[in-house]
Structure 1
Amino acid sequence: MTPDPLPPKGFAPHFRKSPVTDPWEPLFSCVEPEAVRLGLRLREAHCNSRGFAHGGVIAALADNAMGLSYGRALGARAAADDGEAPAPARAVTVSLSLDYVASGQLGEWLEVRPRVIRAGRRLGFVDALVMAGDRVVARASATFSAV
């Protein structure tokens, strides 16, 4: 069975480009009120020599999605305080931790689903599940510092 090349409903081409992720395009994002989910269809460029999603790709995507989600939450909080329209805040990663629990296979839809635990003015705490289809591939957690 050939996988569907289109992303799931709600996903659009990712709005944030980076030299790190350029070789992995096309990347897709789904901006929600509470988080920014990222996804891609696993191709050879995303896999290790054994044909599984590479841990570095998973880590980079999880870091990206969690950081964007924290920035979105922090921007929304600042907008509520100021009574203005929300603008995403910028953040840098202080720590990142991943546990790999399964493998993503060539052709599968890989998706990072972040959850902002706390969006403090200086530090933010976010976790995420990385899914391949309906399977958890990794769990991630990170601490971010607002810039």
Structure 2
Amino acid sequence: MDGTRGIDGWRPLAARSGFLAGIGPLLWRRDADGLAMGFRVAERHCNPVGACHGGMLMTLADVVMGFGLGDRLDDGRFVPTVGMAADFLAPAPLGALVWGRAEVLRRGGRTGFAQCLLRAGDAMVLRASGVFQLDRRTDPGYSAATLFAGA
């Protein structure tokens, strides 16, 4: 199943190698409420009972909060995760579009705090919060602009 087919306004994230490319395609869109990210649940994302694996949901929440916080910093820096907590609220079935948006709670000098809710259809499937390192220099060659091509 192509994770981008039939999803109005969503674009594939331009992750061509590494971990994000391996779990994707991840999707993104920017609207009046800001940056949103998600993916379509494929069989490779599912646990033995046919619902999206919790590890995949936590991965998406981590990506949503990290990129969401980095996006608010307006300088394209990589924002590594220091800590994260999550609560599973409902299963995300095969074929569902799971998506979320970061809410930035606080930006300090060295750390930032964010939270997000992931949704599948009308259901909230995961609630997460995270702490992120803000004072790390961006690795050479990293560019958020290349991931969000056309942003």
User: TM-score, normalised on structure 2?
Assistant: 0.78
Secondary structure of 2:80's counterpart equals strand
Specify the alignment match of 2:59 in structure 1.
60
Matched with 1:133 is: 121
Structure 1 moving runs of 4+ over 6 Å? none
Partner of 1:37: 36
- Gaps of at least 5 residues in structure 1 are 76-86
**Cα pair distance change 1:21/1:126, threshold 3 Å:** same
Cα distance between partner residues in 1 of 2:87 and 2:58: 10
Match of 2:68 in 1: 69
Compare 119-128 and 135-144 and name the one that shifted more: 119-128
Deviation at 1:14, TM superposition (A): 0.9
Name the SS of the counterpart of 2:8 in structure 1.
coil
Match status 1:104 vs 2:86:
no
Residue 5 of structure 1 corresponds to which residue in structure 2?
5
- Unaligned 5+ segments in structure 2 are 137-151
Deviation per residue, 1:4-57 (Å, 9 max, x gap):
932232x21113455223233222112357753211111101111110011110
Q: Percent identical across equivalent pairs?
A: 33
User: Residue 17 and residue 60 in structure 1: after superposition, are their counterparts in 2 closer, same or farther (change >3 A)?
Assistant: farther
Distance 1:113 1:8 in 2: 17
Matched-pair contact (CA < 8 Å) for 1:128–1:140: yes
Are the aligned partners of 1:104 and 1:110 in contact in 2 as well (CA < 8 Å)? yes
| C-alpha distance in 2 between matches for 1:43 and 1:33 | 28
Distance 1:17 1:129 in 2: 26
SS at match of 1:65: helix
Deviations along 1:51-83, whole A, 9 cap, x unmatched? 0011110111110110011111123xxxxxxxx
Q: Give the whole-Å Cα distance in 1 for the aligned partners of 2:15 and 2:32.
A: 17
1:145 aligns with 2:133: yes
Per the alignment, in what secondary structure is the counterpart of residue 15 of structure 1? coil
Kept in 2: contact 1:37–1:112 (CA 8 A): yes
Q: How many residues of Structure 1 are paired with residues of Structure 2 in the alignment?
A: 132
Normalising by structure 1, report the TM-score.
0.80
- State the partner residue of 2:105: 117
